[in-house]
Amino acid sequence: MSDTEHNCCCCERKKVRSEKERRELMNRLKRIEGQIRGLQRMLDEDAYCPDILTQASAANSALNSFCRTLLASHLRTCVSEDIREGREDTIDELMNTLEKLMR
């Protein structure tokens, strides 16, 4: 069955995203990238350790938020569609993904 016949949002381990979703996720990643560059700059400028740790915590929170947003989208689209179509192995894949996220 080809991708066009299947109309799956995430066939062949790829995900077709709307332009809005792609833009929002990319904007989040660019902000996180800016925070990481800020951390590098702070280190280069010999910033005080607690200040660097505070900024690192903010970057970590932003990345966790990105992951939650992406996971919610995955659950609403790919996982729910796979379950409706009887693909039980999706649950195992989801459990493996959650284990990695919770380390």
Q: How confident is the model at residue 5 (pLDDT cuts 50, 70, 90)?
A: very low
CATH topology of domain 17-101: Methane Monooxygenase Hydroxylase; Chain G, domain 1 (1.20.58)
What's the whole-model pTM score? 0.80
- Tell me what pLDDT residue 13 has: 78
The H-or-E segment that residue 49 falls in is helix 49-74
How far apart, in whole angstroms, are the C-alpha atoms of residue 66 and residue 97?
15
Question: Mind listing the pLDDT tens digit for each residue in 24-43?
Answer: 999 999 999 999 999 999 99
Nearest to 43 by CA among 53, 31, 33: 53
Give yes or no for a contact between 1 and 28, defined as CB atoms under 8 angstroms apart. no
* Residues whose CB is less than 8 angstroms from the CB of residue 71 and which lie 6 or more positions away in sequence, other chains included: 97, 101
Question: Mind listing the pLDDT tens digit for each residue in 40-95?
Answer: 999 999 999 999 999 999 999 999 999 999 999 999 999 999 999 999 899 999 99
